[in-house]
Amino acid sequence: MMNKYSLLALSLVFTLTAAALAPINWNDYNMDANGTSFYNGQACEIKNNVFGWDRLQNPDGSYFTTSKRPIVIVIDSWKSSKVNAYIAQYLLELMGYRTQVVSRFQYIFGPELYSNVVDLEMEIWTGDFTNYAKITQYDRVGVDLGATGYNGVAGMMFPSYLLDQYPEYSLEFWKFLLNPKFRSIFPPSGSGPYVTVDGAPICDNTPGTCVNNTYIPSHCRSKDANCIEMLYWDPGYSNNVYQRLIDGLKLPITINFVGDAAKDIVNEALKQKKPILFYGWTPTVFLATNNFTRILFPSTNATEYVNFTNGES
Ligand SMILES: *[C@@H]1O[C@H](CO)[C@@H](O)[C@H](O)[C@H]1NC(C)=O
Ligand SMILES: *[C@@H]1O[C@H](CO)[C@@H](O)[C@H](O)[C@H]1NC(C)=O
Ligand SMILES: *[C@@H]1O[C@H](CO)[C@@H](O)[C@H](O)[C@H]1NC(C)=O
Ligand SMILES: *[C@@H]1O[C@H](CO)[C@@H](O)[C@H](O)[C@H]1NC(C)=O
Ligand SMILES: *[C@@H]1O[C@H](CO)[C@@H](O)[C@H](O)[C@H]1NC(C)=O
């Protein structure tokens, strides 16, 4: 299951035509084009460009790549998305192509591909987009080009000093969670802070995902369940994946959504060398500069997945 979290570049294979296109109303497709100016990175002067792509000529002498319509690249709000997009912009411009960089209004993936208004998306977190398989495998409006150079890995994490504090507990492997004594080193359910934004919970009213900032599986609702608490950023990260993992493996874990406060809370625990369990992901500066251990989960169990291969369900 965990290896589904690779970071992927997704591209729409699109026949670039020289024909002038009608102006696009980007807003209709959840895209912001900054008026008509776009969000392109600053022009990058390329000296000694001897690769030759920009010199390829059409029979009439015009330049082949330059004569195509601009290639549209989408950026999301975070830094690595922009870095990847701007590198793609410069490489394409090096080849003589024109580019237009647009930005998403809302973090929804798909409309721009189904409507053919975007050509390249350089960073996609598959866990964030439940319709990813539909887009790439069934409707095939996008083609997965593979990793952009690094793979994202999400998981349940804790500070590695706990391995030294509790060497007998096998904290690296998920089954320790089923042992009430071992898991009790972590804060019990309901012990963490309750975080609001403008007086309202971060997430609410979505049973199965989050109610009043928490996910509490049915097996954690009895008084003697002895469930522990996992801190989580936003329920939109790895949307519903951990809730279903908790349900499926009957993990005695509840989730406390605290938004960006999660980082401060984990940092505070680190200072005091306290136990803490949280959802985290790499690559991030936070994970790179702290010593955390990710809990390992079983990989595919052939018995449980047999019905997906024999066509019965
Ligand atoms: C948006 O467009 C304006 C010109 O209309 C430009 O000056 C500005 O740099 C653009 N913003 C970004 C973030 O690219
Ligand atoms: C991380 O923590 C573990 C357990 O304390 C320790 O063995 C390891 O050396 C640490 N690694 C780094 C890079 O500090
Ligand atoms: C939401 O949770 C907080 C903290 O536990 C609690 O104080 C509040 O009453 C809850 N709100 C509702 C509507 O249950
Ligand atoms: C695989 O799943 C089956 C059915 O849930 C279970 O009986 C079996 O113990 C599992 N195997 C492993 C190695 O976890
Ligand atoms: C697979 O499907 C059969 C028939 O619907 C069902 O009896 C069985 O429990 C399923 N197996 C698993 C592991 O879900």
Show me where the domains of the chain are located: 2-141, 153-305
Q: Look up residue 101 and give its two tokens.
A: 């960089």
The radius of gyration of the chain's CA atoms, rounded to the nearest angstrom, is 24
Q: Give me the pLDDT at residue 125, please.
A: 75
Amino acid at 131: N
**64-92 residue pLDDT tens:** 999 999 999 999 988 889 999 999 999 99
Q: Give me the pLDDT at residue 217, please.
A: 98
200 lines ligand 3 (CB under 6 A): no
* 304 vs 100, higher pLDDT: 100
Q: Is the pLDDT of residue 313 over 80?
A: no
Q: How confident is the model at residue 19 (pLDDT cuts 50, 70, 90)?
A: very low
Instruction: Pick from 189, 191, 212, 216 the residue to mutate for probing ligand 3's pocket: most ligand atoms within 8 Å of its CB.
Output: 212
Q: How confident is the model at residue 269 (pLDDT cuts 50, 70, 90)?
A: very high
Q: How far is the CA of 192 from the centre of ligand 3 (A)?
A: 13
Q: How far is the CA of 304 from the centre of ligand 5 (A)?
A: 8
* Pocket lined around ligand 4, Cβ cut-off 6 Å: 298, 301, 303-304
* Closest C-alpha to ligand 1, atom 7: 37
Q: How confident is the model at residue 149 (pLDDT cuts 50, 70, 90)?
A: low
Give burial (CB, 10 Å; 0-12/13-18/19+) of 166. middle
2 lines ligand 2 (CB under 6 A): no
Q: Is the pTM of this model over 0.75?
A: no
Q: What residues have CB less than 8 Å from 19, skipping those under 6 apart?
A: 69
Q: How far is the CA of 262 from the centre of ligand 3 (A)?
A: 19
Rounded CA gap, 279 and 234, in Å?
Answer: 10
Q: How far is the CA of 160 from the centre of ligand 2 (A)?
A: 6
Domain 153-305, architecture per CATH: 3-Layer(aba) Sandwich (3.40)
| Ligand 4 atom closest to 298 (CA) | 14
Q: How confident is the model at residue 127 (pLDDT cuts 50, 70, 90)?
A: low
| Ligand 2 atom closest to 161 (CA) | 5
Q: Give me the pLDDT at residue 278, please.
A: 98
* 2 vs 27, higher pLDDT: 27
312 lines ligand 5 (CB under 6 A): yes
Q: Is the pLDDT of residue 15 over 70?
A: no
Q: What residues have CB less than 8 Å from 95, skipping those under 6 apart?
A: 51, 53, 54, 65
Mean pLDDT is lowest, of 8-12, 92-96, 194-198, 223-227, for 8-12
Enumerate long-range contacts of 64-67, CB under 8 Å, 24 or more apart.
64/96, 65/95, 65/96, 65/97, 66/96, 66/97, 66/98, 67/18
Q: Is the pLDDT of residue 129 over 70?
A: no
36 lines ligand 1 (CB under 6 A): no
Q: Give me the pLDDT at residue 8, please.
A: 38
Q: Tell me what percent of the residues of the chain surpass a pLDDT of 90.
A: 66
Q: Look up residue 279 and give its two tokens.
A: 């959802």
Q: Give me the pLDDT at residue 224, please.
A: 92
Q: Give me the pLDDT at residue 144, please.
A: 86
Rounded CA gap, 313 and 305, in Å?
Answer: 10
Q: Are strands 200-201 and 253-257 parallel, antiparallel or unpaired?
A: unpaired
Q: Is the pLDDT of residue 2 over 90?
A: no
- Average confidence (pLDDT) over 158-165: 98
Look over the chain and give the mean of its residue pLDDT values, rounded to a whole number.
87
Q: Give me the pLDDT at residue 1, please.
A: 28
Q: Are 135 and 115 in contact (CB under 8 A)?
A: no
